[in-house]
Chains A and B, each alone.
Chain A
């Protein structure tokens, strides 16, 4: 079974600064996807960024980028130029692309607060 660990329950960052959220995972699979989801206080989960394990290039979406270290099983999220709207719970998630069920396995989340 896969496990996802987010070791930072809470973090804060000043507006316009950069913050990095950590995620490690454990799997014996070679083909998989990794995701960061954002869950604002309204609770609707939104995809932030996705990484395919076979791609060595780190994914980037505007102010969001990842540092994917496959050998270390690490998948951190960097948020640049933090904005007040980035305040939310952030969940790292794993999907085994070879399995019959494409369920997501989530970490416990990191609560990010952006301070004006």
Chain B
């Protein structure tokens, strides 16, 4: 595909359920980022991968959040025992590299998670 894709686009979960959100980055992009965007706010950083290595997970709000990118392409963000405060849009972004012209992050459409 030409851009970053995410699935599902919408997810409704009951409090306490586990969810898995998928991100397909642009082919060949080394860097992959997850952001959380609460209603009416700017996106906030969750975690960063360079290929398959998770180099920064400082933004993950709790140990209920887990992300992986085992083969350096597709990434999954997993949230265990969801809480109402987890309701947000989860954005995935990828970039070709890290510096200069390669640092533009291309965003997916996001997954809107609603926890009831």
Contacts and interface: CB of A to CB of B under 8 A. Distances in A.
Interface of A: 4, 33, 37, 42-47, 50, 52, 91, 93, 95, 97, 100-109
A106 B108 CA distance: 16
Contacts of B107: 37, 44-46
A97 B57 CA distance: 18
B97 to A, nearest CB: 9
Given A33-B103, A50-B104, A100-B56, A106 B43 contact: yes
Given A45-B107, A100-B56, A102-B95, 13 more contacts: A44-B108, A45-B43, A45-B93, A47-B106, A100-B55, A101-B55, A101-B56, A102-B48, A102-B98, A104-B43, A104-B93, A104-B105, A106-B44
B61 interface: no
A110 to B, nearest CB: 10
Q: Give the bracket for the number of chain B residues in contact with chain A.
A: 20 to 34
Contacts of A100: 55-56
A63 to B, nearest CB: 19
B48 A101 contact: yes
Interface of B: 3, 31, 33, 35, 40-45, 48, 55-56, 58-59, 89, 91, 93, 95, 98-100, 103-110
B45 A104 contact: yes
